[in-house]
Amino acid sequence: MVTGGEVAGLFAFVSTKVLGQYDLAPQGTPRLLLVAPNILSAERELEVNPSDFRLWVCLHEETHRVQFTAVPWLREHLIESAQSLGQGMVGGADTAQKLSLCPRVAGRHSR
């Protein structure tokens, strides 16, 4: 539970710093995502020209799109690697054993 809280805190902090993301969309169409509130906050904090900064953010994320489309196997490789890592952390054959380590979760799981 402590680790979960630490991870949640880390994600909360990082989420305020993300300006954009090239979404690989494992079950869909990849797309460019921008986080408008974070971009506006960064523009104000850095005191930069909004048009130039927004163009820079878009070009940066577009660079990632070029990287993933220029190397045909890279998108699938990264998606498979992330899924494998996620399954190793959450699922797998020893899920019941992992759940038994936390009495509250184990109690809910056995009902």
pLDDT tens digit string along 51-80?
999 999 999 999 999 998 899 899 999 999
| Predicted structure pTM score | 0.65
Tokens linked to 51: 């048009």
Average pLDDT, the chain: 83
> Between 50-70 and 74-90, two packed helices, what is the crossing angle to 10 degrees?
90
> What type of residue is 48?
V
Give rounded-to-5 percent helix, strand, coil for the chain.
70, 5, 25
